[in-house]
Amino acid sequence: MAQDEARVFGDPFAEGDDAARLADFLVAAEAARWSVALSLTAARGGTPGCGRSIPLHDGAAARTVWTMLPDAALRAVVAAAGREVAETAPLLVFGDADAAALAGLEHPRACAVLETRGSAAHEILAQLAGLPAVVERVDPEPALDEAELAPFLALPPHREFATFVHVGGYEPGHGTDAAVRALARLAAERPAALRVLLPFRNEAQETRWRALLARARGGGGHEAVLEFRGGPLTPHALADACGAVWCARDAGDTAALLALMASGRPLVAARHRANAALLGLPGVCLPAGGRWVPAQEEWPARFEPDVQGLAFAMAEVLRDPTAARATGRRARHAVLARHRRRVPAARGSRPRGARPLVVLEAPLLETSSSALLTIATARALHARGRVDLRLVPRRPFHHGLAEFRARAPELVQRLDAAPPCADLWLSAGWPPRTSRPECRVHAVRFDWEYGAVPAELGPLLAGEADRVVVHSESVRRSVLAAGRAADTIDLIPHGVDGAVFHERAEPLAEVLRFKRGRRAFLFVGGLIWRKGVDVLLQALAGWRREQHFCLVVKPIGARGSYAGYELGELVRRFAASPVALETLVLERELDAAGMAGLYRACDLLVHPYRGEGFALPVLEARACGLPVVATTPGPTDAFGPSPALLPLGSTRRALELRAPHLGQPWVQEPDAAALRVLLEGASEVLEPLRALAESEAPALRGRFTWEGAAARIEELAARAAGAGGGRDVVLAPQRAPLRVGARA
């Protein structure tokens, strides 16, 4: 860690003393030549429309804020937001105790966390200068010296040419043959070039690679230029490149990989367990997928890159240069923050004879199904008290600790961004974690709704994770088809809190006032194509306002995982129509009790999904005694059969998704005309349907409990603690590294 680096956490655009002192400090730090980075997590911005609109990015996140800061302060803030410092740099918090705790969760490797309440800029700088000197040593993971990285970090953003750079070699482990075949596939769509950097020139081998390119192309397509250069990787070799291709079949030359990431060029990569320490961070590469080949006499176990996936990722770089630049920027920031020489953060130790340590990792500080389900599981584990529980929040941090405390006050003390070695580490969220944390058994909770899984996740799902946890039979079949052994898949259904979701819950008053004695159809979920909200609106297109029915829509995930994919405008147009069924859109957040009240205030849940992994709203509604219309076949079949679960027939339909998948993706397409007929028929018998649903609710709550899910996780943790670890991982030996040169 450099002695003149620091990171600040706070909101310089807010009103109040903390914001003013933060802005003053950044100006003073610039003048004192300190390298200070600003985390954007707490930077919410001023009132929209007031002052100037400023785009900001900090490598991991990007946002636009409104501000009335004076020019000098604004220049310092913008510069700090675009700067990265080492993860171990001291962390300055401009805010309250919750802000300090949140900052520590986001930056657990900081060598010091300093609260700045009441201190002026010159006092804070003096406090930083007085921190004890840090003795530098190398982390166990790869690292490069500042001097080695500097020329690559100095490269300007990548060009929009069609030249990719590949650090190759003559041994099969370098994967140069895979890169050449990927070039051939790419050239079928557009002109492209591949520059192969080699330790020395071998014309005979280069001739064979050119012949391989000709065979793979088959004489068709666009121009494909294959260029060879001898010597070390240099910034000059990357200057005119649009991206880099990394497809080593083993660990490869980690120094060269770090240099490519530092260059800011988008990296197309065959990501697997041997390089996941570098490439496992979210968004730092365009992963191509592949599979592990068992060891043979002439070669140990090695990874075989997916050539189609490599070509697709290369095409993505050329198709969307803006997104490609963002990928390269994230990789560069990751190198700056994590892979320079520094002091590793100290980790906690575990007492002997302790209960099994379970870590649940998820985006806990956002509103998403992954966050809510993980919190419900954690609450059950905490209440049972049979394991030592830690919670690791993943980015994004959309909420602060106040929102988390309101959901689960007893779990705040369980938050821990750097727990000691766990017996069981269960990670959730999208995209799935691909790098292995410090644990005996790493389990990945996987949710998928489109049948065949993405090829880029093949290595993780087929074998790199010790266990894969799914919550429905349909997802289990998708993971099996990806090559996973059946005895390493754990089917653990989600639960429902029977103390909250039941037929005696108080109906939501807001909905009762809106209904005015009418019957209400209810839709709960993301307003996205997969959930089928458009199918419901199409089925209701002919229902008039004068009929004794209305529609209630509760969107979920609009500001989180579904942002940018919503059909919200379609719903808003329907609700604004003077002749369509009167519609209430409940945008505000509801806690569990509010959701139970919503179900009790309505008369029929309609869930015409095309693809679902579990469909928790259907389970919650039925636990509250609400009849349901849902697509069949699908995961909701596991909640029935029941006269109160009305099946909406569907047709299996192949789905063309852009990225390569391990098979043909598909959905179940529900019929809007059939849904209309079903709703018309159900509207005549809602009273007896409701009575049936209420009579079945207690049994359903008994079958699906969070306590049951927690008990299954405890079993996994006990086996992990008793067995002493996960399956052995055998990697190919690392070759002698290529030299990384600072000059052409």
For the stretch 355-393, pLDDT in tens is 999 999 999 998 888 899 999 999 999 999 999 999 999
105 and 399 in contact (C-beta within 8 Å)?
A: no
What pLDDT is stored for residue 347 in this prediction?
47
Q: Which CATH number covers residue 621?
A: 3.40.50.2000
Share of the chain above pLDDT 90, in %: 61
Nearest to 540, CA basis, from 515, 507, 577, 567: 577
What pLDDT is stored for residue 645 in this prediction?
92
pLDDT of 569 above 90: no
Q: Averaged over 621-638, what is the pLDDT?
A: 95
When pLDDT is cut at 50, 70 and 90, the band that residue 220 belongs to is confident
Share of the chain above pLDDT 70, in %: 90
pLDDT of 222 above 70: yes
What pLDDT is stored for residue 743 in this prediction?
29
Burial class (CB in 10 A: 0-12, 13-18, 19+), 50: exposed
Same-domain pairing of 320 and 380:
no
What pLDDT is stored for residue 136 in this prediction?
46
Question: Is 441 a domain residue?
Answer: yes
Question: Is 576 a domain residue?
Answer: yes
CA distances from 52 to 27, 70, 184, 505 (A): 19, 10, 48, 47
Q: What angle do CA 90, 95, 100 make, to 5 degrees?
A: 50
Helix axes of 307-319 and 176-187: crossing angle, nearest 10 degrees: 50
Nearest to 451, CA basis, from 485, 428, 474, 430: 474
Of 321 and 82, the structure prediction assigns the larger pLDDT to 321
pLDDT of 496 above 60: yes
Same-domain pairing of 289 and 380:
no
Cα–Cα distance between 390 and 412 in angstroms, integer?
10
For residue 17, what are the contacts with CB-CB under 8 A and spacing of at least 6?
Answer: none
Question: Is 734 a domain residue?
Answer: no
652 and 635 in contact (C-beta within 8 Å)?
A: no
CA distances from 83 to 73, 101, 112, 143 (A): 16, 23, 19, 20
Same-domain pairing of 150 and 108:
no
Cα–Cα distance between 338 and 325 in angstroms, integer?
20
When pLDDT is cut at 50, 70 and 90, the band that residue 563 belongs to is low
Which of these three, 129, 161, 182, is where a domain ends?
Answer: 129
Same-domain pairing of 389 and 327:
no
pLDDT tens digits for range 386-415: 999 999 999 888 888 999 999 999 999 999
What pLDDT is stored for residue 139 in this prediction?
47
Which residue bears the tokens 């400090």? Answer: 25
When pLDDT is cut at 50, 70 and 90, the band that residue 354 belongs to is confident
Question: Is 731 a domain residue?
Answer: no
pLDDT of 40 above 80: yes
What pLDDT is stored for residue 243 in this prediction?
95
Burial class (CB in 10 A: 0-12, 13-18, 19+), 680: exposed
When pLDDT is cut at 50, 70 and 90, the band that residue 341 belongs to is low
What pLDDT is stored for residue 48 in this prediction?
78
Question: Is 669 a domain residue?
Answer: yes
Q: What angle do CA 456, 460, 466 make, to 5 degrees?
A: 175
| CB-based burial, 158-186: b 16+ in 10 Å, e otherwise | beeebbbbbbbbeeebbbbbbbbbbbbbb
Which residue bears the tokens 């995209």? Answer: 431
Average pLDDT of the chain to the nearest whole number: 88
CA distances from 466 to 165, 272, 392, 463 (A): 34, 14, 19, 7
Q: Can you read off the two tokens belonging to residue 216?
A: 């793979």
Instruction: Write out the H or E segment, with its range, that includes residue 424.
Output: strand 422-427
Which of these three, 338, 369, 400, is where a domain ends?
Answer: 338
Which of these three, 129, 158, 183, is where a domain ends?
Answer: 129
DSSP at 231: S
Question: Is 279 a domain residue?
Answer: yes
Same-domain pairing of 557 and 697:
yes
Same-domain pairing of 368 and 479:
yes
Q: Averaged over 675-703, what is the pLDDT?
A: 93
The range of the structural domain enclosing residue 17 comes to 5-129
What pLDDT is stored for residue 369 in this prediction?
85
Cα–Cα distance between 671 and 283 in angstroms, integer?
37
DSSP letters spanning 466-527: SEEEESSHHHHHHHHHTT--GGGEEE------TTTSSTTSPPPHHHHHHHTT-EEEEEEE-S
Cα–Cα distance between 444 and 442 in angstroms, integer?
7
Same-domain pairing of 189 and 78:
no
Question: Is 344 a domain residue?
Answer: no
78 and 37 in contact (C-beta within 8 Å)?
A: no
Task: Tell whether pTM > 0.95.
Answer: no
When pLDDT is cut at 50, 70 and 90, the band that residue 61 belongs to is low
Pairing between β-strand 91-93 and β-strand 62-67 as defined by DSSP bridges: unpaired
Nearest to 46, CA basis, from 83, 9, 74: 74
For residue 116, what are the contacts with CB-CB under 8 A and spacing of at least 6?
Answer: 21, 25, 92, 93, 94, 124
Q: Can you read off the two tokens belonging to residue 641?
A: 């059969």
Same-domain pairing of 546 and 647:
yes
Same-domain pairing of 303 and 438:
no
pLDDT of 739 above 50: no
pLDDT of 653 above 90: yes
What pLDDT is stored for residue 219 in this prediction?
73
300 and 729 in contact (C-beta within 8 Å)?
A: no
When pLDDT is cut at 50, 70 and 90, the band that residue 351 belongs to is low
Same-domain pairing of 363 and 428:
yes
Same-domain pairing of 532 and 625:
yes
For residue 468, the one-letter residue type is V
Of 496 and 682, the structure prediction assigns the larger pLDDT to 496
Cα–Cα distance between 90 and 80 in angstroms, integer?
15
Same-domain pairing of 430 and 558:
no
Question: Is 246 a domain residue?
Answer: yes
Pairing between β-strand 666-670 and β-strand 645-654 as defined by DSSP bridges: antiparallel
494 and 517 in contact (C-beta within 8 Å)?
A: no
Q: Averaged over 635-659, what is the pLDDT?
A: 92
Q: How many domains does the chain have?
A: 4
